[in-house]
């Protein structure tokens, strides 16, 4: 397999040199293979969000490097990473512009990273692509393309955001607790759509989740963070056979600390 993303000894400290200094990422290493769907879990303060922000370009790491297809992107700004590294946030409202229609939002995603021309209108050729893609969601949104996204439910908006993030196949898809704000039934729907889209488009994805059962069920690989480092990394059949208790035991074995199920939900 080809390594598409390589995280090499990255460190990130906030408020360095002050009484509030917080060394969040502590020499983290991770090689992501093309086609990996990695679930990322860890307690509060483990470094999950800082890792996502560093990969997306919202934060610059203090040291170490991040390679995408063998090339350093450490100093590449977020806007320039957007076409190759797409992201779905926890809040459904963050992925779409409320006052734009479904098709206008999709046009923004479709043109992400391209130079802006003089014409903004959605082209008929694009509209056909968007309609076919929306049909795959099975939510009837293909019949509501001229509706502003502010009138969609949270689950519909998150499903649309997920589709937009993969409309132009990214090299890496970041899923930042993208079901945490949804009710259980809607969360389950979005997770099933996530699996469908990742498998259909053969995407490479990293998914932060607060739900250990989802972390075990979805993806081919699972990593657990603790104090800015990876302490558990399992994949394939070993991952598929895990239970929540197995996962907690692995954490204890590799970190020397015990962790309750409630702590993992943070």
Q: Cα–Cα distance between 120 and 108 in angstroms, integer?
A: 9
54: enclosing H helix or E strand: helix 48-56
Cα 123 to Cα 92: distance, rounded to the nearest angstrom = 26
Query: pLDDT, tens digit, for every residue of 129-178?
Result: 999 999 988 899 999 999 999 999 999 999 999 999 998 899 999 999 99
Domain residue ranges in the chain: 3-84+170-264
Quickly tell me which residue has 């499903």 as its tokens.
Answer: 159
Rounded to whole angstroms, the Cα distance separating 157 from 148 reads 11
CA neighbor of 28 nearest in space, from 223, 174, 222, 228: 228
Q: How far is CA 69 from CA 6, 7, 9, 57, 129, in A?
A: 8, 11, 17, 16, 28
Q: How far apart are CA 2 and CA 26, in angstroms?
A: 26
The CATH number that domain 3-84+170-264 falls under is 3.40.50.300
Distance CA 35, CA 93 (A): 28
Q: What is the pLDDT of residues 16-70, one digit of tens each?
A: 989 999 999 999 999 999 999 999 998 888 999 999 999 999 999 999 999 999 9
Task: Report how far residue 251's alpha carbon sits from residue 231's, in angstroms, rounded to the nearest whole number.
Answer: 7
User: Cβ distance 37 to 218 under 8 Å?
Assistant: yes
């Amino acid at each position: 397999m080809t390594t598409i993303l390589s995280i090499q000894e990255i460190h990130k400290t906030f408020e360095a040199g002050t009484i509030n200094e917080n060394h969040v990422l502590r020499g983290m290493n991770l090689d992501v293979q093309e086609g990996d769907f990695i679930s990322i879990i860890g307690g509060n303060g483990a470094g999950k969000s800082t890792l996502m922000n560093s990969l997306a370009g919202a934060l610059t790491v203090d040291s170490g490097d991040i390679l995408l297809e063998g090339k350093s992107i450490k100093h590449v700004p977020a806007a320039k990473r957007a076409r190759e590294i797409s992201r779905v946030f926890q809040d459904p409202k963050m992925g779409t512009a409320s006052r734009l229609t479904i098709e206008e939002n999709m046009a923004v995603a479709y043109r992400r990273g391209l130079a802006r021309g003089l014409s903004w209108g959605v082209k008929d050729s694009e509209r056909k692509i968007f309609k076919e893609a929306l049909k795959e969601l099975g939510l009837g949104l293909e019949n509501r393309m001229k509706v502003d996204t502010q009138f969609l439910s949270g689950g519909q908006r998150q499903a649309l955001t997920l589709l937009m993030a993969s409309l132009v196949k990214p090299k890496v898809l970041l899923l930042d607790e993208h079901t945490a704000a949804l009710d259980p039934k809607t969360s389950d729907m979005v997770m099933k759509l996530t699996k469908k889209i990742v498998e259909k488009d053969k995407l490479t994805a990293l998914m932060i989740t607060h739900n250990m059962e989802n972390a075990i069920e979805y993806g081919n690989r699972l990593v657990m963070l603790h104090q800015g480092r990876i302490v558990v990394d399992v994949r394939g059949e070993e991952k598929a056979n895990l239970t929540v208790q197995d996962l907690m035991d692995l954490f204890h074995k590799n970190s020397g600390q015990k962790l309750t199920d409630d702590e993992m939900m943070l």
